[in-house]
Amino acid sequence: MKVVRTINEVRNARKLLPGLLGLVPTMGFLHDGHLSLVKRARQECESVVASIYVNPTQFGPNEDFAAYPRDIERDLTLLNATGVDLVWVPGEEDMYPDGYQTYVNVEEVTKVFEGAMRPTHFRGVTTIVAKLFNVIQPEKAYFGQKDAQQVEVIRQMISDLNFNLEMVVCPIVRESDGLALSSRNTYLEIEQRKAAVVLSRALRIARKLFQSGERSAQKIRRVMEDEFSKVELARVQYISVADPKLLTELDEISTAALVSMAVYFGKTRLIDNTILGKLDPTLD
């Protein structure tokens, strides 16, 4: 496994990689969720490239950019063991040199939930992903369903800007008690960690309601809110039952709905989601 830093180095190393190439973009501090993307890429592609970059432009001024957990040595060991060919670990001077001023904006699907709470977040995500695509020029790029809105935003960008690649979305990976894996889980204190299982529990309840015929989005939201209200440590930021592509809130669910939420435990903000009307082996 080769590890490179500058854009020139990664371009040169990429040229030497044979066949269909899969890219797994990450912010490091890897867990089994990330590694599930690498494994999928390894199955589907002749060459696998991972990037590790905590992208400053997707953090708001009062968010956890400086505190975001980092452990590059451990990350490289895990990527090597999982079969990555090339790892790109750019520095900020490579990604955003002096005078940097270009941003990619997806204008509609960024306006709701995560984008509404974090106004410049998706501008940072789409910009860095466009840069990664242009430098690596992968045939396939792997993203986790954990960040459901991010998936739809990037899907829209790929389509609108005509990136010539296939996006592969991999299922959420969960702890045995149901908590979705996230690098931010390390922020949780013991009692918060126990309480955090309420996210997946609320999603399971939503799925059961839907499977038993409930189609009122408002009813599903309310039952989920009730579930959260029983957990003192949980502070709900939003609970959404939305169209899976347009991300607009639904009144009535016809065939499918993205159920997603953001919940604070102390200062730690967790997100989770499921798509009603679609199998979700991680919850059913």
Q: Is 105 in the site for a second copy (CB under 8 A)?
A: yes
Q: Is 108 in the site for a second copy (CB under 8 A)?
A: yes
Among 16, 72, 116, 161, binds a second copy (CB under 8 A): 161
- As beta bridge partners, residue 49 has 23, 86
Total residues in contact with a second copy, by rule CB under 8 A: 27
- Over its C-alpha atoms, the chain yields an Rg (Å, rounded) of 19
3-state secondary structure of 222: helix
Q: Is 157 in the site for a second copy (CB under 8 A)?
A: yes
Continuous segment of H or E residues that includes residue 114: helix 113-117
- Sheet of strand 234-242, all strands in order from the earlier edge strand to the far edge: 234-242, 257-265, 268-276
Indicate which residue of 17, 21, 30, 34 is catalytic. Answer: 34
121 in active site: no
Among 130, 181, 220, 234, binds a second copy (CB under 8 A): 130
* Measured distance between the N- and C-terminal CA atoms of the chain, rounded to whole angstroms: 37
> Other C-beta atoms within 10 Å of 174: how many?
19
Q: Is 162 in the site for a second copy (CB under 8 A)?
A: yes
Contacting range for a second copy; rule: CB under 8 A; set: 70-78, 97-105, 197-205, 236-244? 97-105
- Sheet of strand 140-144, all strands in order from the earlier edge strand to the far edge: 2-4, 86-88, 47-52, 21-26, 140-144, 166-170
- Residue number with CB closer to a second copy (100 or 218): 100
- Residue number with CB closer to a second copy (58 or 82): 58
- Contacts to a second copy by CB under 8 A: 7, 11, 99-109, 126-127, 130-131, 134-135, 137, 156-157, 160-164
Residues classed as catalytic: 34
